[in-house]
Amino acid sequence: MNEKFPGLYIHIPFCLSKCPYCDFYSLTSVSAVPDFLDALSKEMEMYRNRFNPIDTVYIGGGTPSLLSPQQLEDILISVKKKFDLISTPEITIETNPADLSRSFLELMREIGINRINIGVQSFDEKVLDFLGRRHSIKQAISAVATSRKAGFRNLGLDLIYGVPGQDVESWLNTLKHAVVFSPEHISCYQLTLEAKTPLGIKYRAGEFPIPGEELQYEFFMKTSEFLEDAGYIHYEVSNFARGKEHTSRHNQKYWDHSPYLGLGPSAHSFQCNQRWWNHRSLNQYLAAIKGGNLPVEETETLTMAQLRLEALCLGLRTKKGIFLQDFKNRYHYDLFTEKKKILTKLEEEGFISIQDGYLFPTQTGLAIADSLSLI
């Protein structure tokens, strides 16, 4: 598989209710869905031939499973008309467990969606309550079982840890529930509380503490240990796959600087040395497209030094790490020679390893990946 093919991300900016920890852009009124879908199709037209061929489509948000099967099918018909989609694409949809009826899931399979991510977040009712999720554990269990019955053979669960009040035991209990379903993919995100979110405001007002660094480290290491024992590869800081073939082809593009096109409000794109992002507000997005303009809020051109730093940060978040010769060719920088002293020290301390031309984090290194990139 050529990982350098571009990927397509589509942001569906609607949710039935807003989770109090969430910083993604979404609206709780769905009245503008038809206008949005119309604009989305026009935005695709504006990028026709700029990102071909595409090998992954990721429908995220927001809550894409709020759309009707017909609306989702129309989106994919537009994608196929306006882009050159390879014959074996990975097409993923993010979903809320509360939305997944058997008929909806069967129709998703019929329109060509072959990968489903279910936002389960936790199998602990108290945690779900704290996170303000609109689904129950019962719905999560039923969503996974029904997805299997509908024919999804590439199924991912999204989970959150490090929630105030949660201990490692109760988190491991959630993981135990998760592996019972043998999902092909599991993402475990550490809860982060952005300042402007309702939970971020409460935290800053001192209403509850969040786990400190040591406890976060314990969460991370226990997660990795547990899931690796259960047969999963811990291939990126937050991501686990039941075999190499089940790693996310789409997310890999973000980690290795492959091109990607993001459509919809707030979506980001990357190509060559340019990154740009769309207006966050749906109104601004719609107005730009109505006026015949790309809904881009800002574009930045990255210098070679910036690209190199990003590649280092992203590469060190993956188990595969950085292929040093590729890094040298692409970013004109001999990492091994230039940083020999610090790399040797980090290797001696057990944070990284250098083998067969690859520089990669050890398990301990993966836990502090963001600091490693400061070398």
Using CB under 6 A as the binding rule, whether residue 203 contacts ligand SF4 is answered as no
Binding region for ligand SF4 (CB under 6 A) out of 55-63, 122-130, 188-196, 335-343: 55-63
Of 61, 64, 211, 315, the one binding ligand SF4 by CB under 6 A: 61
Write down the least CB distance from residue 121 to ligand SF4, Å.
8
Nearer to ligand SF4, 18 or 339 (CB): 18
Angle between helices 33-46 and 282-290 in degrees, nearest 10: 50
Three-class DSSP labels, the chain: CCCCCCEEEEEECECCCCCCCCCCCCECCCCCHHHHHHHHHHHHHHCCCCCCCEEEEEEEECCHHHCCHHHHHHHHHHHHHHCCEEEEEEEEEEECHHHCCHHHHHHHHHCCCCEEEEEEECCCHHHHHHCCCCCCHHHHHHHHHHHHHCCCCCEEEEEEECCCCCCHHHHHHHHHHHHHCCCCEEEEEECCCCCCCHHHHHHHCCCCCCCCHHHHHHHHHHHHHHHHHCCCEEEECCEEECCHHHCCHHHHHHHCCCCEEEECCCCEEEECCEEEEECCCHHHHHHHHHCCCCCEEEEEECCHHHHHHHHHHHHCCECCCEEHHHHHHHHCCCHHHHCHHHHHHHHHCCCEEEECCEEEECHHHHHCHHHHCCC
Using CB under 6 A as the binding rule, whether residue 247 contacts ligand SF4 is answered as no
Write down the least CB distance from residue 132 to ligand SF4, Å.
8
Binding region for ligand SF4 (CB under 6 A) out of 61-69, 158-166, 188-196, 221-229: 61-69
Torsion (CA) 31, 34, 35, 36 in degrees, nearest 10:
90
Nearer to ligand SF4, 173 or 197 (CB): 197
Write down the least CB distance from residue 14 to ligand SF4, Å.
8
Binding region for ligand SF4 (CB under 6 A) out of 58-66, 187-195, 265-273, 305-313: 58-66
* Total residues interacting with ligand SF4, rule: CB under 6 A: 11
Nearer to ligand SF4, 26 or 223 (CB): 26
Write down the least CB distance from residue 133 to ligand SF4, Å.
7
Of 8, 10, 12, 19, the one binding ligand SF4 by CB under 6 A: 19
Nearer to ligand SF4, 54 or 144 (CB): 144
Nearer to ligand SF4, 189 or 336 (CB): 189
Using CB under 6 A as the binding rule, whether residue 26 contacts ligand SF4 is answered as yes
Binding region for ligand SF4 (CB under 6 A) out of 11-19, 103-111, 206-214, 364-372: 11-19
Site for ligand SF4, residues 94 to 133, rule: CB under 6 A:
96, 119
Collect all residues with Cβ–Cβ distance below 8 Å to 269 and sequence separation of at least 6: 260, 261, 262, 275, 276, 277
Exposure of 221 by Cβ count < 10 A (0-12 exposed, 13-18 middle, 19+ buried)?
Answer: middle
Write down the least CB distance from residue 335 to ligand SF4, Å.
36
Binding region for ligand SF4 (CB under 6 A) out of 17-25, 80-88, 143-151, 345-353: 17-25
- Structure token digits, residue 298: 């800002």
Of 56, 63, 166, 251, the one binding ligand SF4 by CB under 6 A: 63
Nearer to ligand SF4, 8 or 191 (CB): 191
Using CB under 6 A as the binding rule, whether residue 302 contacts ligand SF4 is answered as no
Write down the least CB distance from residue 23 to ligand SF4, Å.
8
Using CB under 6 A as the binding rule, whether residue 24 contacts ligand SF4 is answered as yes
Q: Which amino acid is at 246?
A: H
Nearer to ligand SF4, 119 or 361 (CB): 119
Q: Greatest CA separation found in the chain? A: 59
Site for ligand SF4, residues 354 to 373, rule: CB under 6 A:
none
Q: Which residues contact ligand SF4 (rule: CB under 6 A)? A: 15, 18-19, 22, 24, 26, 61-63, 96, 119
